[in-house]
Structure 1
Amino acid sequence: MWDKQMKVYDVPTEIHIDDGGHITSVDTYHGTLTDGNFELEQLIQFKGSKGDEVYEGDIISYGSIWCEGDEMDPHEANGSGPVIYDENMAGYAVEKNMMLADVVLEDGYEVIGNIHENPELAEVVRNEDD
Structure 2
Amino acid sequence: MSPDKYIVEQSTGLKDANGNMIYENDILCFGRMWLEGDEYDPREEDHIGLVKYCSDSASYVVDCNKQIFPLEQMCSFDGYSAQGNVHTNPELLEVQHD
**Maintained 8 Å contact 1:64/1:103:** no
TM-score, structure 2 normalization = 0.73
CA separation of 1:86 and 1:116: change in aligned 2, threshold 3 A? same
Listed as ranges, the gaps of 5+ residues in structure 2 are 36-42
**C-alpha separation in 2, matches of 1:89 and 1:123:** 27
Tell me how large the CA RMSD over aligned residues is. 2.2
Listed as ranges, the gaps of 5+ residues in structure 1 are 1-31, 68-74
**C-alpha separation in 1, matches of 2:34 and 2:16:** 21
- Asked whether 1:65 is paired with 2:33, we answer yes
**C-alpha separation in 2, matches of 1:77 and 1:88:** 29
- Asked whether 1:113 is paired with 2:84, we answer yes
1:102 maps to 73
Q: Residue 62 of structure 1 aligns to which amino acid in structure 2?
A: F
Q: CA deviation at 1:77?
A: 4.4
CA separation of 1:103 and 1:49: change in aligned 2, threshold 3 A? same
Describe the SS at the equivalent of 1:51.
coil
**Maintained 8 Å contact 2:34/2:77:** no
State percent identity of aligned pairs: 32
1:39 maps to 7
Structure 1: which 4+ aligned runs deviate by more than 4 Å?
none
How many residues matched?
Answer: 87
For residues 12-50 of structure 1, the C-alpha deviation after alignment (integer angstroms, 9 at most, x for no partner) is xxxxxxxxxxxxxxxxxxxx113x332211111111111
